């Protein structure tokens, strides 16, 4: 029997090379767990019927000597990433039966190395939310406490990795959508530098923020996945050219900036603060210098731009060319019926607010000012990273909340306090499990977030691996799966 709980990508690859089991047997082991657990967790919206065919191709790669580290590794993909011939609904009724006509860049990359894609995972509709409660297909439950949310918008991918429904997963990160659910579920989530991973084949939410990132059990696994999926793509004009070297210095991280003003404000759970203080002390014990830095609360700035780009991007879903269509008496009624029934409440809210901030008379007052503030913030980050190597914060100001507990959308928006900054300025960030807190007899995972300057994912991987080494002694053993 394969020990999925303690399995990592490197361990699985070594076992496959030695012939301890085949790619087919590994896939079958994950399919068995999915059959057992997914009904309760609702992590997968669909398990593909060609999984064993993919595993057969992977086994052939091992036989021919063409296998790589990711060959035969079972993956889950978020429901907004296109996989040719398979449904991609973005968690929405309006695309309930939409079948992808081409592969996303990241899917082509995974196919090329022989990874096995198990299925598509649940998400907040069009990646709008922070809990997977906005999915048209029901909430994904947290594997640690099924009364609580798994986070969002990549909640299905994070819950899937945490509960051994996949060995690795892909999510998309617009304002923390890879990192926050990873923290809530006790796994590792990476948001790469904007442009390092192509957005071709990712359904657009907020185009200037969106990036695809890996979710994994360990930092090393996240690095392996990132190395496989990054690269320039002619189909994405924002992807970074291969010959553009962003790593200006070959230094190792020594100075870590901590924005105490942001962390000590109201609304941060005391248990989150306590866990964070332990992390800081243990990093100091490792020899890192901790430096107080200033960061502003960027929630308002983030959401003005988010609403504006969402309203523009989702205008394409008119119910005529593809997706849900409802007949009305005229074209306007067609639109109203199709969009009214196809889009969920949160999606409609953001479209309306985005249309407002882009409207005549308000564009300069809201969207225009937000873009100027974004430029100023990017300049601030250049200065900050001339003084520190990394920035450290909690991933989320609060632990995972109970399903249905936050009916006020503003309270969910505020939970993005620490994660949105990286998307606004385009820098890479990683969430790493930092221990557990206890709530009424249930242990809930927490995460800490490191941010680095553009293109310095290498610094995140280096400090992440060191942090995992001290975690068993200082905090709690890194979580490898339920």
Residue for token digits 């598509």?
120
Q: What confidence score (pLDDT) does residue 246 get?
A: 55
Summarised one tens digit per residue, pLDDT across range 285-296 is: 999 999 999 999
Please write the tens of the pLDDT for every residue from 29-76.
999 999 999 999 999 999 999 999 999 999 999 999 999 999 999 999
- pLDDT for residue 339: 87
The pLDDT of residue 318 is: 82
Q: Are strands 255-258 and 390-394 parallel, antiparallel or unpaired?
A: parallel
Classify 210 as helix, strand or coil.
Answer: coil
What are the residues facing 260 on neighbouring strands?
none
DSSP 8-state code for residue 365: I
167 CB contacts (<8 Å, ≥6 apart)? Answer: 4, 7, 8, 9, 12, 30, 73, 74, 75, 161, 216, 217, 221
Which candidate, 176, 155, 57, 154, places its Cα nearest to that of 115?
57
Among candidate residues 366, 308, 396, the one with its CA nearest the CA of residue 131: 396
Q: Is 441 exposed, middle or buried (0-12, 13-18, 19+ CB in 10 A)?
A: exposed
> Residue 244: pLDDT band by 50, 70, 90 thresholds?
low
* Residue-wise pLDDT tens digits, 440-481: 889 999 999 999 999 999 999 999 999 998 765 545 444 556
- In the chain, where are the structural domains located? 1-295+376-482, 302-363
pLDDT of res. 319 = 78
pLDDT at residue 478 in the model: 45
- The residue behind tokens 């990712």 is 202
pLDDT at 476: 47
Give the Cβ contact number of residue 130 at 10 Å. Answer: 30
Ranges of H-type helices in 74-207: 105-112, 155-162, 179-185
Bridge partners, 445 (sequence order): 436
Cβ(75)–Cβ(116) under 8 Å? Answer: yes
Flag whether pLDDT at 249 surpasses 70: no
- In the predicted structure, residue 215 carries a pLDDT above the cut 90: yes
Q: What mean pLDDT value characterizes the chain?
A: 94
Average pLDDT over residues 339-367: 95
Cα–Cα separations (whole angstroms), residue 374 to 82, 357, 367, 436, 453: 30, 16, 10, 34, 16
Q: Is the pLDDT of residue 378 over 60?
A: yes
More confident residue, 450 or 326: 450
Adjacent-strand bridge partners of 47: 119
What is the reported pTM?
A: 0.96
Complete DSSP assignment for 57-75 = HHHHHHHHT---TTTT-EE
Residue 227: the pLDDT is 97
141 has a pLDDT exceeding 70: yes
Over range 210-233, report the average pLDDT: 98
Q: Which CATH number is correct for 1-295+376-482, 3.40.1110.10, 3.90.1300.10, 3.40.630.30, 2.170.120.20?
A: 3.90.1300.10
Residues above pLDDT 70, as percent of the chain = 96
* Paired tokens of 200: 């071709």
**Residue 212: CB atoms within 10 Å:** 29
pLDDT at 243 over 70: no
pLDDT of residue 250: 55
Determine the average pLDDT of the residues in 375-386: 97
Indicate if the pLDDT at residue 399 is higher than 50: yes
What average pLDDT score do residues 185-210 get?
98
User: Does residue 278 sit in helix, strand or coil?
Assistant: helix
Using the predicted structure, report yes or no on whether residue 150 has a pLDDT greater than 70: yes
Place of tokens 């997977």: 132
Q: How confident is the model at residue 324 (pLDDT cuts 50, 70, 90)?
A: confident
In the predicted structure, residue 283 carries a pLDDT above the cut 80: yes
Q: Starting at the earlier edge strand, list the strands of the sheet with 442-451.
A: 44-47, 116-121, 74-78, 168-173, 211-216, 188-191, 429-439, 442-451, 390-394, 255-258, 289-292
Query: 257 - beta bridge partners?
Result: 291, 391
Residue 158: count of CB within 10 angstroms of its CB: 37
CA torsion, points 213, 214, 215, 220, in degrees to nearest 10?
Answer: -130
Contacts of 464 (CB under 8 A, 6+ apart): 188, 219, 222, 430, 432, 450
**Distance between alpha carbon 432 and the CA centroid of its chain, in Å?**
13
Cβ neighbours for 35, distance < 8 A, ≥ 6 positions apart: none
Residues near 395 by beta carbon (within 8 Å), at least 6 away in sequence? 176, 179, 180, 182, 183, 418, 419, 431, 446, 447, 448, 449
């Amino acid at each position: 029997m394969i020990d999925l709980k303690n399995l990592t990508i490197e361990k699985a690859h070594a076992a496959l090379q030695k012939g301890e089991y085949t790619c087919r047997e590994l896939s079958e082991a994950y399919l068995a767990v999915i059959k057992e657990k997914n009904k309760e967790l609702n992590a997968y919206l669909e398990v593909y019927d060609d999984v064993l065919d993919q595993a057969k191709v992977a086994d052939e790669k091992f036989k021919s000597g063409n296998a790589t580290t990711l060959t035969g590794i079972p993956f889950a993909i978020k429901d907004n990433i296109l996989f040719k011939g398979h449904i991609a609904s973005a968690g929405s009724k309006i695309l309930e039966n939409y079948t992808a006509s081409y592969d996303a860049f990241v899917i082509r990359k995974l196919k090329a190395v022989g990874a096995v894609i198990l299925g598509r995972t649940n998400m907040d509709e069009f990646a709008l939310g922070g809990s997977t409660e906005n999915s048209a297909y029901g909430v994904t439950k947290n594997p640690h406490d099924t009364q609580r949310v798994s986070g969002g918008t990549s909640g299905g991918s994070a819950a899937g990795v945490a509960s051994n429904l996949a060995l690795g997963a892909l999510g998309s990160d617009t304002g923390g959508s890879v990192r926050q659910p990873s923290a809530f579920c006790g796994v590792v989530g990476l948001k790469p530098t904007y442009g390092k991973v192509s957005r071709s084949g990712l359904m657009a939410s907020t185009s200037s923020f969106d990036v695809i990132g890996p979710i994994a059990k360990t930092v090393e696994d996240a690095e392996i996945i990132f190395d496989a999926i990054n690269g320039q793509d002619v189909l994405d004009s924002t992807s970074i050219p291969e010959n553009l070297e962003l790593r200006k210095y070959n230094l190792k991280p020594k100075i870590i900036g901590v924005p105490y003003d942001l962390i000590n404000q109201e609304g941060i759970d005391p248990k989150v603060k306590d866990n964070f203080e332990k992390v800081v002390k243990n990093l100091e014990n490792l020899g890192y210098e901790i430096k107080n830095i200033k960061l502003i609360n960027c929630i308002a700035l983030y959401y003005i731009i988010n609403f504006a780009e969402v309203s523009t991007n989702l205008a394409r879903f008119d119910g005529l060319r593809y997706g849900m269509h409802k007949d009305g008496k005229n074209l306007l009624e067609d639109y109203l019926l199709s969009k009214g029934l196809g889009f969920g409440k949160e999606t409609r809210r953001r479209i309306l607010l985005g249309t407002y901030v882009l409207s005549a008379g308000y564009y300069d007052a809201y969207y225009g000012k937000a873009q100027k503030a974004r430029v100023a913030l990017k300049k601030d980050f250049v200065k900050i990273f001339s003084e520190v190597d990394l920035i450290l914060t909690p991933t989320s100001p609060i632990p995972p909340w109970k399903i249905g507990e936050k009916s006020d959308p503003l309270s969910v928006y505020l939970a993005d306090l620490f994660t949105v900054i990286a998307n606004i300025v385009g820098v890479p960030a990683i969430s790493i499990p930092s221990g557990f807190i206890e709530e009424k007899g249930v242990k809930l995972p927490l995460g800490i977030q490191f941010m680095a300057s553009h293109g310095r994912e290498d610094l995140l991987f280096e400090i992440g691996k060191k942090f995992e080494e001290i975690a068993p002694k200082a905090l709690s053993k890194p979580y490898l799966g339920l």
